[in-house]
Chains A and B, each alone.
Chain A
Amino acid sequence: MLHCKMLTVVREDRILFKDLSFTIKPGEIVQIEGPNGVGKTSLFRLLIGLSTAYSGDIFWQGSSIDKDREFFYQQLLYLGHKTGIKPELTPLENLQFFQTLHAAKQDIDLWFVLAQVGLAGYEDVTTAQLSAGQQRRVALARLWINKCPLWVLDEPFTAIDKSGIAVLEGLFVKHAEKGGIVLLTTHQDMTLDSSLLRKIELGGAAADEDYV
């Protein structure tokens, strides 16, 4: 369970959002919505502990994420605008590195996973030579090999085609059925059944108010 309490974020004298509270339960797929510049990425970076809030707290499984980073990061998978894929390494090497560093599943066939994301035959080419969509797929392959219950995905569908999106959505549903949490932003249309998807709207209204 991910619980946010009265989050306020100020960036360079601008209030992005104020007193934001919400709780996400296991098995939920949550889309954060809102126009550009409303602070979706800022919110995500806050939720994963990369930046700090002006005020407010974030709890994962009941304990503050700042208190127990190592525990939290064992259970978190984050995919940002920047993929974290090293261009000079091959897709296979990138995934192997992820496996060691994020204590992911060891007993999984990485070749199979790469085939799943449509990269069969590209295992030994350096990632720099792949197209933007393919590089994105290397990053997304992490979704198959991690053991984390909490997925925070910032625009995971960027540069991914329709059939790819459908595959990912299927994966999200499966993850949620197992009690996992998927938290994402996207500008693409999702075909996901609306009963499975919860939306949280970040409004720009709060930005003009004062706060104490």
Chain B
Amino acid sequence: MWKWLHPYAKPEKSYQLAGKLLPWFVVLTVITFIIGLLWGLLFAPADYQQGDSFRIIYIHVPAAMMAMGAYSSMAIAAFVALVWQIRLAEMTVAATAPIGAVFTFIALFTGAAWGKPMWGAWWVWDARLTSELILLFVYLGIIALYNAFSDKVLAGRAASILTLVGVINLPVIHYSVVWWNTLHQGPTISKFGKPSMAVEMLWPLLIMIAAFATLLGALILMRFRNEILTRESHRPWVRQLALNNVKITGKN
């Protein structure tokens, strides 16, 4: 059943496959970003309570979703890496972690920026923001662990284990934080999770979510390709590739 996958367990094949997929992701990302941003920032109606400042959700919500999405894909890759001992899956974990961290940071920053006009403070201990902050810590821990190993094969394996430990713990962290928040702050207005959102506002949001998803995909593919090249730099096909590139740029 897994036979068709087998060639892609070889780094060279995966490198080429990722290379073929990449342009599609890039194109989709650009298109969805243009449509989503224009629609969301210019044409969608302003919120009757929050005015224009609500528009930051077109960045915040997709970034927060993809911060979790990146972690989920890391967790799946880590599982595959540890159970079937597939080196490429370890590389995916390593390639994704910094992207996830950046997305988490964007979500945190936009969340804080949105809080300024809403609550008059840059930071409030809102459950969602706190969870995101902890998620950022978890990401940074994984990245730091990966970088601490000089042997990148071992580094990938260590990062995979930590990712899986984290994925069991993250839901617990999330619910504990939500609970802690309701106890210490009383019910805050749930700001982003409005159940009934006007359709004109919802559509651009969905498009922006798609835009961030394809951006995540494109970034993972790019970093994945780089990871393969660095890890396999002692292999003939990588050297050949490097030589070819020199020739091409030489002609220009």
On A, residues with C-beta under 8 Å from B are 10-15, 210-212
Cβ proximity bits B211-239 to A, threshold 8 Å, 1 near / 0 not: 00000000000000000000001111001
Q: A210-B234, A212-B235, A212-B236 are in contact. List 14 more A-B contacts (CB 8 A).
A: A10-B153, A10-B234, A11-B151, A12-B150, A12-B151, A12-B152, A13-B233, A13-B234, A14-B234, A15-B234, A210-B235, A210-B236, A210-B239, A211-B235
Cβ proximity bits B138-158 to A, threshold 8 Å, 1 near / 0 not: 000000000000111100000
Give every chain A residue within 8 A of B236 (Cβ-Cβ): 210, 212
Give every chain B residue within 8 A of A12 (Cβ-Cβ): 150-152
Closest B-chain residue to A51, C-beta based? B154
Main secondary structure of the interface of B (DSSP, over half): loop
Give every chain A residue within 8 A of B153 (Cβ-Cβ): 10
Q: Considering the chains assembled together, what is the distance between the CA atoms of A14 and B233 in angstroms? A: 10
Closest A-chain residue to B237, C-beta based? A212
Give every chain B residue within 8 A of A212 (Cβ-Cβ): 235-236
Give every chain B residue within 8 A of A11 (Cβ-Cβ): 151
17 A-B pairs with C-beta separation under 8 A: A10-B153, A10-B234, A11-B151, A12-B150, A12-B151, A12-B152, A13-B233, A13-B234, A14-B234, A15-B234, A210-B234, A210-B235, A210-B236, A210-B239, A211-B235, A212-B235, A212-B236
With an 8 Å Cβ cutoff, the count of chain B residues facing the other chain is 9
Give every chain A residue within 8 A of B151 (Cβ-Cβ): 11-12
Q: Considering the chains assembled together, what is the distance between the CA atoms of A186 and B152 in angstroms? A: 30
Distance from A17 Cβ to chain B, minimum over Cβ atoms (Å): 14
Q: Considering the chains assembled together, what is the distance between the CA atoms of A15 and B233 in angstroms? A: 12
Distance from A56 Cβ to chain B, minimum over Cβ atoms (Å): 14
Cβ proximity bits B164-179 to A, threshold 8 Å, 1 near / 0 not: 0000000000000000
Give every chain A residue within 8 A of B152 (Cβ-Cβ): 12
Q: Considering the chains assembled together, what is the distance between the CA atoms of A70 and B153 in angstroms? A: 25
Closest B-chain residue to A12, C-beta based? B151
Closest A-chain residue to B85, C-beta based? A52
Which 3 pairs show the lowest CB-CB distances between chains A and B?
A210-B236, A12-B151, A13-B234
Q: Considering the chains assembled together, what is the distance between the CA atoms of A12 and B150 in angstroms? A: 7
Closest B-chain residue to A66, C-beta based? B85
Give every chain B residue within 8 A of A211 (Cβ-Cβ): 235
Q: Considering the chains assembled together, what is the distance between the CA atoms of A15 and B232 in angstroms? A: 12
Q: Considering the chains assembled together, what is the distance between the CA atoms of A40 and B150 in angstroms? A: 20
Give every chain B residue within 8 A of A10 (Cβ-Cβ): 153, 234
Give every chain B residue within 8 A of A15 (Cβ-Cβ): 234
Q: Considering the chains assembled together, what is the distance between the CA atoms of A54 and B143 in angstroms? A: 24
Distance from B236 Cβ to chain A, minimum over Cβ atoms (Å): 5
Closest A-chain residue to B154, C-beta based? A51
Closest B-chain residue to A11, C-beta based? B151
Q: Considering the chains assembled together, what is the distance between the CA atoms of A211 and B236 in angstroms? A: 7
Distance from B72 Cβ to chain A, minimum over Cβ atoms (Å): 27
Give every chain A residue within 8 A of B239 (Cβ-Cβ): 210
Distance from A174 Cβ to chain B, minimum over Cβ atoms (Å): 39
For chain B residues 38-72, which have a beta carbon within 8 Å of chain A?
none
Give every chain B residue within 8 A of A13 (Cβ-Cβ): 233-234
